[in-house]
Amino acid sequence: MSQCLFCRIVAGEIPVDEVMRTDEVVAFRDIAPQAPVHVLVIPAKHYADALAISSSDPQLAGNLIKAATDVATAEGLAGGYRIVLNTGADGGQTVQHVHAHLLGGRAMKWPPG
Ligand code: AMP
């Protein structure tokens, strides 16, 4: 059994509120939402972070962003949204399986914390 939390979610071993699934990507609602819409979009295949996926499979990295924008459209976020890939310790990444946060449903502030 994989020790990676998000690999286990891809495998269906941990229940989530899934909003999209293809052969390549899975999207599900964050367990601790930071906005009215907070969805995580992850590749089914394990890559540790944004650098790993963009170095090894840039097409999949692009498809991850495409999936996030597709979810944004499906969630009705026509007014705008934020897509974030926290990367590494200084980036605030806590789960070592690359994931795009899709945040929307409220006005975002800048700079982020
Ligand atoms: P990050 O801090 O950028 O690595 O983001 C990890 C995200 O995963 C956090 O926003 C967590 O709330 C979220 N998360 C952790 N465990 C789960 C889970 N079982 N289901 C949904 N989201 C989760």
Class of domain 5-104: alpha beta
Whole-prediction pTM value?
Answer: 0.98
**pLDDT at residue 46 in the model:** 98
| CA distance linking residue 13 with residue 65, whole number of Å | 25
Q: What is the pLDDT of residues 30-68, one digit of tens each?
A: 999 999 999 999 999 999 999 999 999 999 999 999 999
pLDDT reported for residue 2: 82
Contacts of 37 (CB under 8 A, 6+ apart): 72, 75, 77, 81, 102, 103, 104, 105
Domain ranges for the chain, please list them: 5-104
pLDDT per position as a tens digit, 1-18: 689 999 999 999 999 999
Counting atoms of ligand 1 from 1, which one is nearest the CA of 28?
21
Residue 46 falls in the annotated catalytic set: no
Report the pocket of ligand 1 as residue ranges, CB < 6 Å.
5, 14, 16, 28, 30-32, 40, 86, 92-95
Check 38, 46, 97, 99 and give the catalytic one.
99
Residue pair 37/79 in contact (Cβ under 8 Å)? The answer is no
